[in-house]
Amino acid sequence: MHFKKISMMIILSMMNYVQASDIAEVETFWIWIALFVLALIGIGILYVSSHQAHNVQKLHQEMFDKQLEMEKNQNLLLTNMSENIHHIAKQALSQGHKSSDQNLKPFKNKEEILANVDNRLLDVTNDLIDFLRLKSKKITIINEEFNINNVLNEVSGSVCSKFSGSRSELIFDIDKNIPRSIVGDSLHLGQILSSILEYLMDQADIDEVKLEISMFDTSEDQIELQFQFSDTGRGLSPEALEKLLAPYYDESSGIYVGLGLFVAKELVDMMDGELSLRSTEGRGNAFTLSLPFKTVEKSNKRMYRLPDRILMEKKVFIVDNNYNAALAIKKMFAYFRHEVKVLSYEEFIKNIPNLRPYDIVVLNESLFNIRLVDYLKKIKMGKELKVIVLNSLLQSDKKSFVDEIIDIHLFKPLNQERIFEMIINLYDIKTSAYRKEDSTDKIQSAKTHKTNIVETKDVTQESFKDFAGKNILIVEDNFINQKVLINLLRLSNMSITIANNGQEAVDLVKESKVAFDLVLMDINMPVMDGYTATQMIRLNSKFDALPIVAFTALVLDSEIQKMFNSGINAFLSKPLNIGKLYAALSMYLTETAVVREVKRVKPKEKITAYEGINIKEGIKYANNSEALYLEVLKEFSTAYGGSGEVLAKLIREHRYEQVKMLCVDMRGLSGAIGAKDMHNLVNEILQQLLYKKHDKLSKYQEKYIFGIQTLNRSIERYIEAS
């Protein structure tokens, strides 16, 4: 019995142990399951985190690589420009020499060909100066009040002058709400617009290039102007569009392509704007430029107010050979509450409509024939009808149609202010440009020269010594133009004062203790333009004898008349011609001015032998302008004078791609300024880089430093001697 009890106790104990073991095993099993699941979750989290970290790292690397690529491309853009500038100049000079020996076509003479060569060299030199100033970060954005119409006039005059004779149409289509005056950088706005328009005009097989300007309010005093450019050309492939901002030298045509667009894009970024480029093969290009500006007198919604009610609500009839241009002109007339009808060129030719109901007819010049002239004469016998002949600035070199029925000639592209002034002139409404202060002293006014100034031949810097002792005021907002004029006149022994805008000019004329003998007045300037500045000066009769000579890119009869109405005595067209400048100064600063032929003492031969640089050759590449060449050298010294230390650092750090870019840069620049020794040295370095002989670069860094120091000393000596 006792044994049974003991046996039962043992069995019960074993059963309890088995149950406890089973429970423990079950618990252990689930614990392991839980741990396994947690491990899987952990591994998953680690994998996801690792993947995300990898993606972030990859994205960061892509952004970094993209940034490096952008910097590399930017450097290559600048590099490519300077690399070929020497060759462009040489080819342009070569073409100039060849033209002397070629049989010229009837419609072109030697002077026109040489003028084109000169303008091309001038563009190359200005591009070089812009490049160097961008490199040394010397270009700044200045926001001042300006008249946007003056900028558009300057742009249209400059672009149409370069593409004179082109069969393409240039159209300005401007919304009626665009303010007359805004605050921004007018100088660089004009440069951007010109660069884009020149690129589009330079494309093959285009019928028209259009610039549409519209405005968007962004805040109480902030606006955004949108400039939309389009053409009717062939367009670009996606690959070509991607490379559009990368300037390159076209060996076949000898033209540097895309440099202006690159500079424009850099300026747009500096002005906090955006430039987007679009193109479709077979359908042309479409670029959009957006720039922020501040408004002036935003409450004044009608910026152009006709001085008399009789000038409003006229019936206007327009026919042009380009229908889009006619529609743009319609918009400008409609601003003044005119009732405007546009008819297509083809419809007008088929059947001349009844023009008697209209007050103003605007007709393309090519429409005029004996039949039309007789018809318009009959209408004019019975009522007042104003007849406007419409033509293009691009064909302004042609002889305009002349007849007694013609009231005025109008040249495209147009802007609102030119239409405004034309309407006033059309009806001969007298609006006093300025009112003189009462003066008991009668002062003889400076003589007026209303025709183009004839160039004096063989003028040098020494020639301007004929005006020694005279005091002149140069009114110019473009820093480079200021420097060029100062350098050009530095040997003259004249006293030269600079004003950066019209307001400064007025203050200087009125407050200067020493009277000025002549004022050179730019027309398109911020704060106060040349027209207004001249009017303000003429308010006081004691300045009647002060000659004021204007600089302008738009030389139309209407603009010339506007200058003379303002009180300007003579005008010089842009770009600056040294012979015409001399002639203008001779007219007003000498008692016996001789315009066509002036006797001068032969200038002394200047020393041009400087170690490491050929001055004569450099001047040739600068459009034979020593003044421009001096500016190039000064900017070169600023941007690259310390490049020896930069090269040594790059070699020490094994940054061979940057070494290559610097040397390619220097190869073009040294060639452009006539620095042959430096040119040859960097070519040697490039050869070592080409064959990846990096171990041999160290021996070149001392040669480079010695070469650039020698070049710097020679440039400094030349500038001091000049």
Give per-residue burial for 418-443: e unless 16+ CB within 10 Å, then b: bbbbbbbbbbeeeeeeeeeeeeeeee
Structurally, what CATH architecture does the domain formed by 461-589 represent?
A: 3-Layer(aba) Sandwich (3.40)
- Residue in 274, 293, 272, 288 with CA at minimum distance from that of residue 181: 293
Candidate from 35-39, 70-74, 381-385, 659-663 with smallest mean pLDDT: 70-74
Report residue 142: phi and psi, to 5°.
-120, 120
Task: Give, for 633, the enclosing helix (H) or strand (E).
Answer: helix 626-640
Q: How confident is the model at residue 56 (pLDDT cuts 50, 70, 90)?
A: low
pLDDT score of 471 more than 90? yes
Q: Look-up: residue for tokens 């042959």?
A: 676
pLDDT score of 119 more than 90? no
Q: Tell whether domain 309-426 is in CATH 3.40.50.2300.
A: yes
**Mean pLDDT computed over 324-334:** 96
Q: How confident is the model at residue 60 (pLDDT cuts 50, 70, 90)?
A: low
Q: How confident is the model at residue 64 (pLDDT cuts 50, 70, 90)?
A: low
Domain ranges of the chain: 139-295, 309-426, 461-589
pLDDT given at position 109: 47
Tokens of 509: 């004329």
Q: What is the mean pLDDT of the chain?
A: 82
Q: Report yes or no: 268 and 274 within 8 Å, Cβ to Cβ.
A: yes
Q: How confident is the model at residue 77 (pLDDT cuts 50, 70, 90)?
A: very low
Q: How far is CA 587 from CA 125, 229, 385, 448, 602, in A?
A: 30, 43, 42, 10, 21
pLDDT given at position 430: 62
Q: Strands 274-280 and 284-295, how do they pair?
A: antiparallel
Task: Decide which of 427 and 665 is more confident.
Answer: 427
Candidate from 65-79, 208-222, 683-697 with smallest mean pLDDT: 65-79
pLDDT score of 46 more than 60? yes
Q: How confident is the model at residue 247 (pLDDT cuts 50, 70, 90)?
A: low
Q: How confident is the model at residue 257 (pLDDT cuts 50, 70, 90)?
A: low
**309-426 and 461-589 share one fold:** yes
Candidate from 233-237, 274-278, 385-389 with smallest mean pLDDT: 233-237
Residue 308 CA to residue 303 CA, distance in Å, equals 15
Task: Decide which of 8 and 585 is more confident.
Answer: 585
Tens-place pLDDT, residues 680-709: 999 899 889 988 899 889 889 889 999 999
Q: Tell whether domain 139-295 is in CATH 3.30.1510.10.
A: no
Q: How confident is the model at residue 174 (pLDDT cuts 50, 70, 90)?
A: very high
Report residue 132: phi and psi, to 5°.
-65, -40
pLDDT given at position 341: 97
Q: State what percent of residues in the chain have pLDDT above 90.
A: 46
What amino acid is encoded at 390 in this protein? L
pLDDT given at position 356: 96
Cis, bond preceding 413 (omega within 30 deg of 0): yes
pLDDT score of 249 more than 60? no
Tens-place pLDDT, residues 216-241: 987 778 999 999 999 998 898 888 88
Residue 183 CA to residue 706 CA, distance in Å, equals 48
Residue 149 CA to residue 548 CA, distance in Å, equals 22
pLDDT given at position 662: 87
pTM of the predicted protein model? 0.77
Residue 93: how many CA atoms within 13 Å on its side-chain side? 16
